[in-house]
A and B are shown apart, each in its own frame.
Chain A
Amino acid sequence: MQQFKAKILSNKKIAPDHYVLSFKPPKAAGQTTPGQFFNIRVSNAYNPLLRRPFGAHRISPEKIEILYKVVGKATSILSAKKKGSLLDIIGPLGNGFKAPPDASAAILVAGGHGVAPLHALAASLTAVPKVVALIGARTKTHVISENEFKGLGAKVHIATEDGSKGHKGLVTDLLRKHFNRQTGKPANRQTIYACGPKAMLKAVAKIAREHCIPCQVSLEEYVACGTGACLGCAVKTRSGYKLICKDGPVFDSKEIIW
């Protein structure tokens, strides 16, 4: 973890509200693992005051990509940044996904821009024989990273709320279907990895519990310092409050009190 200034290599709109921004991390910042995040200061003015956390979407020694949705002032300012301008970044922060070495299958469940860290994860799962990516979005234009997941060899299923692409309904319907098809078959050595809105993660955790599949979820909460100093990003777990920034953002779904 380090505070550094990085030049923006690119900042492109990829969907109606979504952008991908890339920067070059300094060597001293250390290796970034899928699920870790960067706390970025988007403006030197005091509105927005705090940094904003962004999960790594694509990781290489030369380039880190973040994928973000424009939801408010900070992300709107970020979306207007030009290639070549400098960003004040702290990272990489937090604990990422843990991939068991002998996994037989990984099921990735993404809601909206929840695809962001799951893409980085998929890229790291080269030793896992089967990777399934279930992507949920509002409409077909909001489906992100479908081809990127396919390019990584993942089997992709889409759900849209309006039915404009794939299954009409929720991404959790796809997850249920996936396991219902497996009825009777051994479900061992599979892991679910999920990122998206809290209600979706809660539903994913429930399905995982029903099928006795280990499940890791990447949680979101307002983050102030990002380094464990302020205790602001607390999440209730079975062993008391844990911090999204230091203990997470990835947690075992069984640990979370939803």
Chain B
Amino acid sequence: MVKRTSMDTKLSVKLGKLNLKNPVILASGTCGFGKEMEGLIDINKLGAIVTKTITLDKREGNPPPRVVETPGGLLNSIGLDNDGLKNFLFEKIPYLEKLKMPVIVSIAGNDIREFKKLAKELSAIPCVNAIEVNLSCPNIIHKNAKFSLPAQDTKAVGKIISGVRKMTTRTLFAKLSPNVTDIKEIAKAAEGAGADAVSLINTYPGMLVDIKTMKPRLGGVTGGLSGPCIKPLALKCVRDATGAVKIPVVGMGGIMCADDAIEFILCGASAIQVGTANFVNPRAGLEILEGIGKYLGRNKMKNIKSLIGKLKVEG
């Protein structure tokens, strides 16, 4: 009989109630609703996917141009373009429920009521294994809010996460913004309100200007910066957050290859998300997965757990 122990459990991680066969997750907004990756990769080999953020009602999204490149980075202003909850339930769920790995649905609301309604409705769907609460999209305007993002305000984070928590027993992720004074305080607020994990970082706000036309390069004027150029900033946020909370931290921000992913895991991330890399190389997630396995082998580590947070800081 073949010994199955090593490979099956070597890379598995637990986030809240969610058991992932490996720590590689495709990030929200970069893999559509799974179907968009069909023909390019076998996504069932990955740990999980996070869907494009859905909102209660359809959102048209921001005017084009919506994406523009900068050295080592991608600036986007999509504006949560999605067809709303009802469309998601009828058009996207049939594909998602056929997947053989966990599905994490990203949600965003204009107010607490919408967040709660989304969480409640989604909790009735068996294939929705977890909910990632997007508190940090830089491309939408929150009316009457003191801060431009819920993720910039410990009170708003607490209110939204505890509201959603009451509506669902599914694993709950809070997706955080790096654009804050102290990420530790925000992560603690999410933990205190009942989040099972925090995922960070969302994109950095930024902009670019076309000096020929003297116009902003994005239709939405400002956007969110992702890609390899933000990795050092993201690593710092992830390390800060893992030091502040007991719940798992899902790390992301510019992960392009296995080495990048391992840096995040060393900084304390229990799992990682691959985002912009999917556009550059759809196979990035699978290659990262293979690379993490090889790294564990090279370093004679029994499993991924012996790597999480093992950053060696002298003195």
Measured CB to CB, the residues of A under 8 A from B are 1-3, 41, 46-51, 88, 90, 221-236, 240-241
Q: Which residues of B contact A (CB under 8 A)?
A: 29-32, 36-37, 39-40, 52, 60-61, 63-69, 71-74, 76, 78, 81, 227-229, 256, 276, 278-283
> Known contacts A49-B73, A222-B68: does B279 contact A230 (CB below 8 Å)?
yes
Evaluate contact between A50 and B32: CB separation under 8 angstroms.
no
Q: Which of A41, A46, A90 contacts B256 (CB 8 A)?
A: A46
CB distance from A113 to the nearest CB of B (A): 19
- In the assembled complex, the CB of A89 is this many whole angstroms from the nearest CB of chain B, namely 12
What 4 A-B pairs are tightest by C-beta distance, nearest first? A232-B67, A229-B36, A229-B32, A225-B279
Q: Is the CB of B78 within 8 A of A231?
A: yes
A224 touching B40, Cβ below 8 Å: no
A41 touches B281 (CB 8 A): yes
- When distances are taken between beta carbons in the complex, the residues of chain A under 8 Å from B281 are 41, 88
Q: Report 10 cross-chain contacts, Cβ distance below 8 Å, ordered by A residue.
A: A2-B40, A51-B280, A90-B40, A221-B64, A222-B66, A229-B279, A230-B78, A232-B67, A232-B78, A234-B61
Given A51-B280, A234-B64, answer yes or no on A225-B30 (Cβ-Cβ < 8 Å). Answer: yes
CA A47 – CA B282 in complex, angstroms? 18
Contact call B74/A233, Cβ cutoff below 8 A:
no
Q: Chain B's nearest CB lies how many Å from the CB of A125?
A: 29
B30 contacts A229, CB within 8 Å?
yes
With both chains docked as a complex, state the minimum distance between the C-beta of B25 and any C-beta of chain A, in angstroms. Answer: 15
* Contacts beyond the supplied A46-B228, A234-B63, A241-B64: 6 A-B pairs with Cβ under 8 Å: A51-B279, A231-B78, A235-B64, A240-B60, A241-B61, A241-B81
Instruction: Name the residue of chain B whose CB is nearest to the CB of A228.
Output: B36
Report B-chain residues with C-beta under 8 Å of the C-beta of A90: 40, 282
- Please, which residues of chain B bring their CB within 8 A of the CB of A225? 30, 36, 278-279
CA distance A230 to B281 in the complex (A): 13
Binding site secondary structure of chain A: loop
- Residues of the B chain whose Cβ atoms lie less than 8 Å from the Cβ of A48: 69
A47 to B74, CA, bound (A): 11
Cα separation A48 to B66 with both chains bound (whole Å): 17
A48 to chain B, nearest CB (A): 6
Q: Which of A41, A88, A225 has the most CB of B within 10 A?
A: A225
Asked if B67 contacts A233 (CB within 8 A), the reply is yes
Contact between B69 and A232, CB atoms less than 8 A apart: no
Most buried by B among A90, A223, A224: A224
Are A49 and B31 in contact, CB atoms less than 8 angstroms apart? Answer: no
Alpha-carbon distance between A168 and B72 when the two chains are bound, in angstroms: 43
Closest Cβ–Cβ distance, residue B42 to chain A (whole Å): 12
In angstroms, Cα B52 to Cα A227, docked, is 14
**Bound: A236/B62 CA distance, A:** 10
Within the complex, which residue of A49, A235, A236, A240 is in contact with B74, where a contact is CB–CB below 8 Å? Answer: A49
Distance between B197 CB and nearest chain A CB, rounded to angstroms:
24
Interface centre among B66, B68, B73, B229, by most chain A C-beta atoms within 10 angstroms, is B66
Q: How far is the CB of B97 from chain A (nearest CB, A)?
A: 19
Residues of B close to A229: CB separation below 8 A: 30-32, 36-37, 52, 278-279
Give the residue name and chain of the B residue nearest to A1 (CB): B39
Using Cβ atoms and an 8 Å threshold, which residues of chain B touch A222?
65-69
Select one of B40, B66, B256 contacting A227, CB under 8 A.
B40
- The residue that B40 contacts in the complex, of A3, A50, A231, A234, with Cβ under 8 A, is A3
CB-based contact A231/B81 at 8 Å: yes
| Cα–Cα distance between A226 and B282 once the two chains are bound (Å) | 11
